Copies of this chain bind each other. A is one copy, B any other.
């Protein structure tokens, strides 16, 4: 529990004409608060204001209310996740390696930033959204990138022909389970993330697994 004094007490007001800066500062403060949130408490407008070093009312200068603020944070974090997935995919050349890289980037994002991941994919958190409109454009973009990666594998002959949308949905479900259950049940003896991802790729997409240098088959 942080002290009652603002975290950024040294903040000075933005220069005239730069008032919009506070908007991003508030989004960043909310992201920072969520980074390692394990508790069940919803994001608090007053905590965000404290994190940004401003009074609670100042949030209303840029957002219509708490729901609007949360929606902006969701959009910001979805963009960050999409960027991470695209960057990972770009480092691979092969369609299979691209799909694998995107899957691993998805899991890594979720495991490194559990609060952000939950904000995007946990229904308790997405229930904070105002209005609760689904699917969001950002969420649809994340799915579309996976679908394209799966389709490329099929077209390259690296995966059997199948209903690509259904394959992608099952793959997404598998990846979500890998991430979400690991946070939910940290005491469970989970296999390595890489091994689980490989099982999903082999079993759900149908990709043949070629053991790499750091794989040790029994």
Question: Do B40 and A128 have beta carbons less than 8 Å apart?
Answer: yes
Question: CA–CA, A31 to B183, complex, Å?
Answer: 23
Q: Mark A185-214, 1 if CB is under 8 A from B, else 0.
A: 111111100011001101110100000000
CB nearest to A166 among chain B residues: B191
- A203 to B177 CA separation, bound complex (whole angstroms): 15
The answer, among B42, B122, B166, B218, for a CB contact under 8 Å with A163, is B218
Kindly identify, within residues 4 to 30 of chain A, every residue whose CB is under 8 Å from any CB belonging to chain B: none
Measured CB to CB, the closest approach of chain B to A199, in angstroms, equals: 5
Chain B residues near A186: list those with CB within 8 A: 134
Q: Chain A: interface residue count, which band?
A: 35 or more
> What is the minimal beta-carbon distance from A171 to any residue of chain B, in angstroms?
9
For residue A170, which residues in chain B have a CB less than 8 angstroms away from its CB? 174, 191, 196, 199-200, 203
Q: Does A178 contact B (CB under 8 A)?
A: yes
24 A-B pairs within 8 Å (CB atoms) are namely: A39-B127, A40-B125, A40-B128, A121-B180, A122-B122, A122-B180, A122-B184, A123-B180, A123-B183, A126-B184, A135-B188, A139-B185, A166-B195, A169-B196, A170-B174, A170-B199, A170-B200, A170-B203, A173-B174, A173-B176, A173-B181, A180-B180, A200-B204, A203-B204
